[in-house]
Copies of this chain bind each other. A is one copy, B any other.
Amino acid sequence: MDFKDSPEQAEFRAEVQAWLKANAKPKTKDTVRGSQENRYKEAKAWYKKVFDAGYACIAWPKEYGGAGLSQIHKVIWSQEVEKYDEPDGYFVIGQGNCGPAMMHFATEQQKTELLPRMASAEDVWCQLFSEPSAGSDVAGLRTKAQLQGDKWIINGQKIWTSGAQHSDYGVILCRTDPDVSKYRGMTMFFIDMKQPGVDVQPITQMDGGSHFNEVFFNNAEIPDSQRLGDVGGGWGAALLVLMNERLAISGIQPDGFPELLKLVQSLDIDGEPARNNPLVRERLAHWYCQHAGLKASTNRMLTAVAKGGIPGAEAALGKLVGAVMNQDIANYVLQLLGDTGAISDESLAEQHAHFQNTVMFAPGIRLAGGTDEVMRNIIAEQVLGLPQEPRADKGIAFKDIPSGNQG
């Protein structure tokens, strides 16, 4: 066990530090987040710069645009870049979810052609799984893909698609056979998002933002050559993507602790420093244990991956704990602030209204990428091996499964 770098890792870290110092924007007290469009442009520019320097997708093979290094190197990169004010996780869904799917299922030619463009963020990718009536029950999806000649014709609707409005490609899961049981009738593809018949509509979130989209498919086309895996093999492929998603997210999942610590170190409540308040201290200790535990858990998982393991369902715990904690910390801070806590003006509220914004955004994190309840199911079934519930949708054709949902 060694929580410090090996000499080779230390060298890599030093190199990264030097490059970042020369190229990355330092964090300042007054950083205000720009418009969504601006942030997208900045992210594109940053990813290109990182790619050109050879630090994009550090754990990918060099021939696909990566650095050919290990997950541990990627962690080092993340630890260092975190100290700067750069949008390093902006395209994590493409690179973290779609990348591995392409790596696993695409043809060599597709990989050589598309992956480096994904790594440099020249092409932006999105993931098209969820649907209005297929949320926690992803496999309940209904978007149809029907084969006509050597093309698949796509009709239906996806939802909660991050970055769809900017995307060049998407990895999509479709129902190709409603007459077999639900987990068997799905197939995965990658799709050109810029073609006719693909219509992206932003969803306005409860916090007023629009990070997610609905995507409507109206006779959109996918050549069979863009099929990822076997016809009917979509569920297995999707599980692979979701597994990688949890790994990709686990490192960057906000848990709210660093902001809380920062606040406690600077805030006065009724003329007394918050850091001297025993109640605040108790909460700080409680959440630090979770924060430190999550960080160390991620590192344990990465150690396992670096040793050749596959990312396990354990990753679900990071999202489960972090998302709830993030919401509760923000709410706690507001309670501490009292009446003024409700003021969400970024120029007036602490840390540019971070806590007010988090109170309104955090509920989404508890839902996106699998609800708390789905995470607990995953841990119970996939990690602990507990039995599934009796299944009302088992062994019957998809089209015959009871559903009161619309659409």
- Residue in chain B with minimal CB distance to A280: B278
If over half of A's interface residues share one DSSP class (helix, strand or loop), that class is named, otherwise mixed; here it is loop
Complex CA gap A389/B390 in Å reads 9
Complex CA gap A279/B277 in Å reads 10
Cβ of A392 within 8 Å of any chain B Cβ, yes or no, is yes
Give me 9 A-to-B residue pairs in the complex whose CB atoms sit less than 8 angstroms apart, sorted by A's number. Answer: A277-B278, A278-B278, A278-B279, A279-B279, A279-B282, A282-B282, A389-B389, A390-B390, A390-B392
Give A167 Cβ to nearest chain B Cβ, in Å: 39
Residues of B within 8 A of A279 (CB): 278-279, 282
- Residue in chain B with minimal CB distance to A392: B390
Give A72 Cβ to nearest chain B Cβ, in Å: 38
Interface string of A275-308 (1 = CB under 8 A from B): 0011100100000000000000000000000000
Complex CA gap A390/B388 in Å reads 13
Residues of B within 8 A of A277 (CB): 278
Within 8 A of B (CB), among A344-392: 389-390, 392
Complex CA gap A277/B389 in Å reads 47
Residues of B within 8 A of A390 (CB): 390, 392
Give A336 Cβ to nearest chain B Cβ, in Å: 12
Give A351 Cβ to nearest chain B Cβ, in Å: 25
Within 8 A of B (CB), among A256-277: 277
Give A335 Cβ to nearest chain B Cβ, in Å: 12
Residues of B within 8 A of A278 (CB): 277-279
Within 8 A of B (CB), among A35-50: none
